[in-house]
Amino acid sequence: MTTPPEIYSEKQDHSLDVGAIAAGIAAVQGTDGEIPWCSGHKSDPWDMVEAAMGLSIGGYPAAAERTYRWLIRCQNPDGSWYTSYRNGVPEDTTRDANLSAYIAVGIYQHYLITGNRSFLEWAWLAVRSAIDFALGLQSPHGEIYWAISPKGNIDRMALLTGSSSICMSIRCALAIARQIGRRQDAWEKGLARLAHAISEKPQRFNMTKSRYAMDWYYPVLCGVFAGQRARKRIDHLWKKFVIEGQGVRCVSDRPWITIAETAELSLALSAVGRRPLAQIVFSWIADKHYEDGMYWAGFTFPDMTVWPEDRLTWTSAVVLMAADALYELTPANRLFSHVFWGLQAQSSTTP
């Protein structure tokens, strides 16, 4: 096992062009607010929220709000969204719990940046419906089934990355509820049961995804594992996924480093207070962008072929999110911080 080093050089300024990155995302956004992966491609609700979060960080709050308005217009009566859209038309009508719940994270981040409480009031019903939809798919054991098929059948598979992300979504939804004076005791209980399942019942989740880096760091990024347990999880699988000096493999047995996964690992390290290491990881990808500021999707190694060549809006957005955590670009810079959420003292979560 290779343990991440503990001594680093001073923080470096990588001259991140925040404005150019946000402008690149805004340029892909439709006039109605929809943000596809890149020009001419599909959109999905999770990545659209991610892109909107990048807009909020980059100084485009009105553009971010257009995206949230688009999402709320397209929300299904049960609180869900479809898995993908193209030019506003549903393409894959699977209803995914994680993709639907993530709007709570974007809405809360936007509030932290703008301080606009009326925005929370306006978005509340959509957030409430989305979280109720996700928790409606919670099993008696605590995990959340990942989706409802186009035919209306519940797929009783639970995904570790998605369930961890839902924990973060519920936490943000509860913060929104507190801010506007709403009580959601059932959400508190659902969050505790979900976190307990992730922490103590790994057999309840699809283990075939353990090849993917997100299954490694998402329980840390989203605050399910904190304190010493989070540190041990990061250190234990570091060598499996990290190529020193380059970034994070998307899949452990493939020679492909992705900018999004590397930025998210940096964000997870910041979340647990390992900022010097987070800065080093971020430095590996800081220059992996096109002339317009938009970031590569990824690259192969050792030949360093950029692949695919798409300028993905959500990839550039998560780079901005990692930079915000590292360099305090906005008042939302601590959104994923375990200290911010009071999670730094790790103990087993009881249902």
Q: 163-208, pLDDT tens digit by residue?
A: 999 999 999 999 999 999 999 999 999 999 999 999 999 999 998 8
The torsion region of residue 85 among left (phi > 0), alpha (psi -120 to 50) and beta comes to beta
For residue 351, is pLDDT > 70?
no
More confident residue, 8 or 202: 202
Is the pLDDT at 160 greater than 50? The verdict is yes
pLDDT at 10: 35
**Residues 78-95, mean pLDDT to the nearest whole number:** 98
Report residue 345's pLDDT band, with 50, 70 and 90 as the boundaries.
low
Please state the rounded mean pLDDT for residues 109-129. Answer: 98
Half-sphere exposure of 1 (CA within 13 A, CB side): 9
- Map residue 130 onto helix, strand or coil: helix
- 4-8, 91-95, 102-106: segment of lowest average pLDDT: 4-8
Q: Which amino acid belongs to residue 232?
A: K
What is the enclosing helix (H) or strand (E) of 54?
helix 45-57
Write down the residue that tokens 């999402």 correspond to. Answer: 71
| pLDDT score recorded for residue 14 | 52
12 or 191: which leads in pLDDT: 191
Q: What pLDDT is stored for residue 122 in this prediction? A: 97
Q: Is the pLDDT of residue 3 over 50?
A: no
pLDDT (tens digit, 9 = 90+) per residue, 306-327?
999 999 999 999 999 999 999 9
In terms of Cβ atoms closer than 10 Å to its own Cβ (0-12, 13-18, 19+), residue 156 is exposed
> Looking at residues 97-123, what average pLDDT do you find?
98
Mean pLDDT of all residues in the chain? 94
Rounded Cα distance, 332 and 316, in Å: 17
pLDDT at position 129 over 70: yes
- 304 to 234, 243, 282, 301: CA distances (angstroms): 25, 13, 18, 5
Q: Could you give the CA distance from residue 138 to residue 248 in angstroms, rounded to a whole number?
A: 31
pLDDT at 304: 93
Residue 13 has pLDDT above 50, yes or no: no
Give the pLDDT of residue 207.
Answer: 87
Question: Looking at residue 9, what is its pLDDT?
Answer: 30
How is domain 18-327 classified at the architecture level of CATH? Alpha/alpha barrel (1.50)
- Could you tell me which of 225, 215, 174, 169 has the C-alpha nearest to residue 195? 225
For 245, other C-beta atoms within 10 Å of its C-beta total 8
Structure-token pair, residue 197? 């399942």
**Model pTM score:** 0.94
**pLDDT, tens digit, for every residue of 245-294?**
999 999 999 999 999 999 999 999 999 999 999 999 999 999 999 999 99
